Chain A
Amino acid sequence: MSRRVPPWLVPLACLLAILALPFIAKYSARRAPRGGQASLSSGVARETLVILTPHNEAIRHEFTEAFAAFMAGQGRQVQIDWRSPGGGSEINRLLAAEYAASFERYWTGALGRRWSSHASGGFAADAPPGAPPDPEAAEARRAFLDSNVGCGIDLLFGGGSVDAQLHASAGRLVDAGVVKAHPQLFGDAGIPAVVGGEAFWDRGGRWLGVCLSGFGICVNRDVIARLGVPGLPSSWSSLADPLYFGQLGLADPGKSGTAVKTFEMIIQEQMQQVRRRAEADGVAAARLDDVAVHEGWLAGLRLIRRLAANARYFSDAASRVPVDVATGDAAAGMCIDFYGRFQSDVTAAAQDPEGGRAVPRMDFVMPKTGTSIGADTIGLLRGAPHRELAVAFIEFVLSEAGQKIWSFRKGAPGGPRTYALQRLPILPALYAPQYDAYRADRDTHPYAPNHQFVYHEAWTGPLFRAIAFVVRVMCVDPAPELRDAYQALAQAGFPPEATALFDDVSAVAYETVKGPLRAALRAPNALDEVTWSNRLVRQFRDQYREVVRLARQSQAQATQGGGAR
Chain B
Amino acid sequence: MRRGWLSELFPSLFALLLALFLFWPLVESVRGAFFDARDTASFGYVLGVFRNPVLVEGFGNALLVAVGSTAVAATLGVGAAWLCDRYDFPARRLFVTLVPLPLIVPPFVGAIGVKQLFGQAGAFNALLAHLHLLDPAHATDWLRRGRLATVVALTALHLYPIVYFNVSASLASLNVEMEEAARSLGCRGARTFWKITLPLLTPSLFGACSIVFIGGLTELGVPLVCDFTRITSVQIFSGLKDLGRNPTVHALVMIVLVGTVTFYAAARLLVRQRNAVTQKGARRRHRDRLRPAGAVAAVVALGALVVTAALPNISVVLVAFARDWYGTVLPSHFTLDHFRAALGHEMVVSSIGNSLRYVMLSTAADLLLGTGIAWVVVRRRSRAARLLDAASMLPLAVPGLVMAFGYLALTREGRPLAFLNPVRDPTALLVIAYTIRRLPFIVRSAVAGLEQIDVALEDAAASLGAGRARVVLRVTLPLLLSHLLAGGIFAFALSMLEVSDSLILAQRQATFPITKAIYELFQLLGDGRQVAAALGVWAMLFLAAAIAFARGVMGRRMGGIFRL
Q: How far is the CB of B370 from chain A (nearest CB, A)?
A: 25
Contact B229 A526 (CB under 8 A): no
Query: Which of B348, B548, B552 is in CB contact (< 8 Å) with A22?
Result: B348
Contact B139 A526 (CB under 8 A): no
Per-residue CB contact flags for chain B residues 223-254 toward chain A (1 = under 8 Å, else 0) read: 00001011000000010111111011000000
Contact A350 B549 (CB under 8 A): no
Residues of A contacting B139 in the complex (Cβ-Cβ under 8 angstroms):
226
19 further interface pairs, Cβ-Cβ under 8 Å (given A14-B548, A465-B244) = A7-B552, A18-B538, A21-B343, A57-B523, A58-B524, A58-B525, A83-B508, A87-B241, A97-B405, A319-B523, A329-B119, A345-B526, A524-B37, A527-B45, A530-B247, A533-B52, A537-B53, A538-B52, A538-B53
Q: How far is the CB of A97 from chain B (nearest CB, A)?
A: 6
Q: Within 8 Å of chain A (Cβ to Cβ): is B42?
A: yes
Per-residue CB contact flags for chain A residues 40-82 toward chain B (1 = under 8 Å, else 0) read: 0000000000000000111000000000000000000000011
How far, in angstroms, from A526 to B251 measured CA to CA in the complex?
Answer: 13
Per-residue CB contact flags for chain A residues 422-441 toward chain B (1 = under 8 Å, else 0) read: 10000000000000000000
The stretch from A101-109, A275-283, A442-450, A509-517 touching chain B is: A101-109
Q: Within 8 Å of chain A (Cβ to Cβ): is B3?
A: no
Q: Within 8 Å of chain B (Cβ to Cβ): is A186?
A: no
Residues of A contacting B459 in the complex (Cβ-Cβ under 8 angstroms):
none
Contact B504 A86 (CB under 8 A): yes
How far, in angstroms, from A171 to B38 measured CA to CA in the complex?
Answer: 19
Residues of B contacting A347 in the complex (Cβ-Cβ under 8 angstroms):
324
Q: Within 8 Å of chain B (Cβ to Cβ): is A351?
A: yes
For the residues of A in contact with B, the DSSP-based class is: helix
Contact B247 A526 (CB under 8 A): yes
Contact B326 A328 (CB under 8 A): yes
Contact A342 B525 (CB under 8 A): yes
How far, in angstroms, from A86 to B243 measured CA to CA in the complex?
Answer: 13
Contact B526 A342 (CB under 8 A): yes
Contact A120 B39 (CB under 8 A): yes
Per-residue CB contact flags for chain A residues 277-298 toward chain B (1 = under 8 Å, else 0) read: 0000000000000000000000
Task: State which residues 105-128 of B face A: CB under 8 Å.
Answer: 112, 115-116, 119-122
Q: Which residue of A lies closest to B44 (CB)?
A: A527
Contact B552 A254 (CB under 8 A): no
Contact A338 B343 (CB under 8 A): no
A11-B548, A526-B245 given as contacts; is B412 within 8 A of A81 (CB)? no
How far, in angstroms, from A350 to B122 measured CA to CA in the complex?
Answer: 17
A56-B520, A82-B509, A118-B38 given as contacts; is B412 within 8 A of A98 (CB)? yes
Q: Within 8 Å of chain A (Cβ to Cβ): is B339?
A: yes
A82-B508, A342-B525 given as contacts; is B137 within 8 A of A226 (CB)? yes
Contact B349 A23 (CB under 8 A): yes
Per-residue CB contact flags for chain A residues 9-45 toward chain B (1 = under 8 Å, else 0) read: 1111011001101111110110000000001000000
Residues of B contacting A524 in the complex (Cβ-Cβ under 8 angstroms):
36-38
A14-B548, A56-B524, A246-B144 given as contacts; is B243 within 8 A of A117 (CB)? no
Contact A104 B414 (CB under 8 A): yes
Q: Within 8 Å of chain A (Cβ to Cβ): is B177?
A: no
Residues of A contacting B541 in the complex (Cβ-Cβ under 8 angstroms):
14, 18
Contact B244 A254 (CB under 8 A): yes
Query: Which of A117, A223, A326, A537 is in CB contact (< 8 Å) with B120?
Result: A223
Q: Within 8 Å of chain A (Cβ to Cβ): is B528?
A: yes
Q: Within 8 Å of chain B (Cβ to Cβ): is A94?
A: yes
Contact B115 A327 (CB under 8 A): yes
Q: Which residue of A lies closest to B555 (CB)?
A: A7
Q: Within 8 Å of chain B (Cβ to Cβ): is A560?
A: no
Q: Which residue of B lies closest to A538 (CB)?
A: B53
Q: How far is the CB of B40 from chain A (nearest CB, A)?
A: 8
Query: Which of B112, B243, B405, B507 is in CB contact (< 8 Å) with A83?
Result: B507
Interface residues of A (CB under 8 A from B): 6-12, 14-15, 18-19, 21-26, 28-29, 39, 56-58, 81-90, 92-94, 97-98, 101-102, 104-105, 117-118, 120-121, 152, 162-163, 222-223, 226, 246, 252, 254-257, 312-313, 316, 319, 323-324, 326-329, 338-339, 342-343, 345-347, 350-351, 353, 361, 419, 422, 465, 468-469, 476-480, 524-527, 529-531, 533-534, 537-538, 541
Query: Which of B39, B524, B553 is in CB contact (< 8 Å) with A117?
Result: B39
Residues of A contacting B340 in the complex (Cβ-Cβ under 8 angstroms):
25, 28-29
Sampled A-B contacts (17; CB under 8 Å): A10-B548, A11-B545, A18-B538, A22-B348, A56-B523, A57-B521, A84-B509, A89-B242, A97-B408, A117-B39, A313-B227, A328-B120, A328-B326, A338-B525, A350-B333, A525-B37, A533-B52
Interface residues of B (CB under 8 A from A): 36-40, 42, 44-45, 48, 51-54, 112, 115-116, 119-122, 136-137, 139, 141, 144, 227, 229-230, 238, 240-245, 247-248, 323-324, 326-327, 333, 339-340, 343-349, 352, 401, 405, 408-409, 412-415, 423, 503-504, 507-509, 520-529, 538, 541-542, 545-546, 548-549, 551-553, 555-556
B520, B526, B549 interface centre (most CB from chain A within 10 Å): B526
Residues of A contacting B509 in the complex (Cβ-Cβ under 8 angstroms):
82, 84
How far, in angstroms, from A346 to B553 measured CA to CA in the complex?
Answer: 46
Residues of B contacting A89 in the complex (Cβ-Cβ under 8 angstroms):
240-243
Q: How far is the CB of B499 from chain A (nearest CB, A)?
A: 10
Q: How far is the CB of A5 from chain B (nearest CB, A)?
A: 10
Residues of B contacting A329 in the complex (Cβ-Cβ under 8 angstroms):
115, 119-122
Residues of A contacting B529 in the complex (Cβ-Cβ under 8 angstroms):
323
Q: Which residue of A lies closest to B112 (CB)?
A: A323
A82-B509, A98-B412, A329-B115 given as contacts; is B242 within 8 A of A254 (CB)? yes
How far, in angstroms, from A478 to B229 measured CA to CA in the complex?
Answer: 10
How far, in angstroms, from A152 to B412 measured CA to CA in the complex?
Answer: 11
A25-B343, A25-B344, A101-B413 given as contacts; is B244 within 8 A of A468 (CB)? yes
Query: Which of B230, B323, B553 is in CB contact (< 8 Å) with A480?
Result: B230
How far, in angstroms, from A94 to B423 measured CA to CA in the complex?
Answer: 12
Contact B412 A101 (CB under 8 A): yes
How far, in angstroms, from A250 to B401 measured CA to CA in the complex?
Answer: 24
Q: How far is the CB of B546 from chain A (nearest CB, A)?
A: 6
Query: Which of B37, B54, B345, B507 is in CB contact (< 8 Å) with A478?
Result: B54
| The 4 nearest A-B residue pairs measured at CB | A328-B121, A8-B552, A117-B39, A29-B344
Q: How far is the CB of A18 from chain B (nearest CB, A)?
A: 5
Contact A312 B227 (CB under 8 A): yes
Residues of B contacting A81 in the complex (Cβ-Cβ under 8 angstroms):
508
How far, in angstroms, from A530 to B47 measured CA to CA in the complex?
Answer: 10
How far, in angstroms, from A537 to B55 measured CA to CA in the complex?
Answer: 10
Query: Which of A26, A86, A541 is in CB contact (< 8 Å) with B349?
Result: A26
A28-B344, A327-B115 given as contacts; is B243 within 8 A of A343 (CB)? no
Contact B413 A102 (CB under 8 A): yes
How far, in angstroms, from A90 to B506 measured CA to CA in the complex?
Answer: 13
Contact B552 A351 (CB under 8 A): no
Residues of B contacting A120 in the complex (Cβ-Cβ under 8 angstroms):
39
Q: How far is the CB of B489 from chain A (nearest CB, A)?
A: 13
Q: Which residue of B lies closest to A339 (CB)?
A: B525
Residues of A contacting B248 in the complex (Cβ-Cβ under 8 angstroms):
530, 533
Residues of A contacting B349 in the complex (Cβ-Cβ under 8 angstroms):
22-23, 26
Residues of B contacting A97 in the complex (Cβ-Cβ under 8 angstroms):
405, 408-409, 412
Q: Which residue of B lies closest to A108 (CB)?
A: B414
Residues of A contacting B240 in the complex (Cβ-Cβ under 8 angstroms):
89
Q: How far is the CB of A462 from chain B (nearest CB, A)?
A: 15
Q: How far is the CB of B7 from chain A (nearest CB, A)?
A: 37
Residues of A contacting B120 in the complex (Cβ-Cβ under 8 angstroms):
223, 328-329
How far, in angstroms, from A380 to B255 measured CA to CA in the complex?
Answer: 40
Q: How far is the CB of A93 from chain B (nearest CB, A)?
A: 6
Contact B119 A327 (CB under 8 A): yes
How far, in angstroms, from A82 to B510 measured CA to CA in the complex?
Answer: 10
Q: How far is the CB of B220 from chain A (nearest CB, A)?
A: 13
Q: Which residue of B lies closest to A28 (CB)?
A: B344
Query: Which of A255, A469, A480 is in CB contact (< 8 Å) with B241?
Result: A255
Contact B241 A316 (CB under 8 A): yes
Contact B244 A343 (CB under 8 A): no
Query: Which of B39, B247, B401, B538 is in CB contact (< 8 Å) with A21?
Result: B538
